[in-house]
Amino acid sequence: MKKVELLNVSKTYDKKTEVISNINVTIEPGEFFVLVGPSGCGKSTMLRMIAGLEDITGGILRIGEKEANHLPPSKRDISMVFQNYALYPHLTVMENIVFGLHVKKIPKLERKTRCNDVAAMLGLSEYLNRKPRELSGGQRQRVALARAIVNEAPICLMDEPLSNLDAKLRAHMRSEIRQIQRRLGITMIYVTHDQVEAMTMGDRIMILHDGKIQQIGKPIDIYNHPANPFVATFIGSPPMNIAEGVMNEMQSEILIADICKIKIPDEDSRLLQTKQVLVGIRPEHIKAASKETSHESRMVVEAINVEILGNETIFSFKVGGHEWTAKWNGQWRLQVGDRIPIQMKYESICLFDRKTNERIKAPTDIENFILDKEVFL
**pLDDT tens readout for residues 269-308:** 888 788 889 999 999 999 998 777 666 667 889 999 999 9
pLDDT at 371 over 70: no
- Average of per-residue pLDDT values in the chain: 88
What are the start-end ranges of the H helices in 123-257?
A: 137-149, 167-184, 195-201, 219-224, 229-234
φ/ψ (deg, to 5) at 205 = -130, 150
| Residue 209: pLDDT band with limits 50, 70, 90 | very high
Higher per-residue confidence, 15 vs 25: 25
**Rounded CA separation 230/225 (Å):** 12
**Rounded CA separation 140/154 (Å):** 23
How many other β-carbons are positioned within 10 Å of the β-carbon of residue 221?
13
Give the model's pLDDT for residue 163.
Answer: 80
**Rounded CA separation 121/152 (Å):** 14
Give the model's pLDDT for residue 89.
Answer: 92
13 Cβ contact list (under 8 Å, min separation 6): 19
Give the model's pLDDT for residue 364.
Answer: 84
CA distances to 82, 290, 334, 351 from 190, in Å = 11, 45, 40, 31
> What is the CATH code of the structural domain delimited by 229-365?
2.40.50.140
DSSP code of 346?
G
**Rounded CA separation 310/229 (Å):** 30
CA distances to 296, 298, 341, 344 from 292, in Å = 12, 10, 12, 14
pLDDT in tens, 305-330: 999 998 999 999 998 888 999 999 99
Tell me which residue of 122, 72, 75, 134 sits closest to 97, measured CA to CA. 122
**Rounded CA separation 363/348 (Å):** 5
**Rounded CA separation 256/27 (Å):** 40
φ/ψ (deg, to 5) at 216 = -130, 135
**Rounded CA separation 167/137 (Å):** 12
Give the model's pLDDT for residue 369.
Answer: 55
Q: How many CA atoms lie within 13 A of 265 on its CB side?
A: 7
Fold for the domain defined by 4-224: Rossmann fold (3.40.50)
Tell me which residue of 211, 183, 178 sits closest to 197, measured CA to CA. 178
b/e code 162-178 from CB counts within 10 Å (16+ = b): beebeeebbeebbebbb
Give the model's pLDDT for residue 54.
Answer: 93
324, 367 Cβ separation under 8 angstroms: no
- Three-state DSSP at 234 gives helix
Give the model's pLDDT for residue 296.
Answer: 63
Domain ranges (residues) in the chain: 4-224, 229-365
Give the model's pLDDT for residue 376.
Answer: 46
Amino acid, single-letter form, for residue 42: G
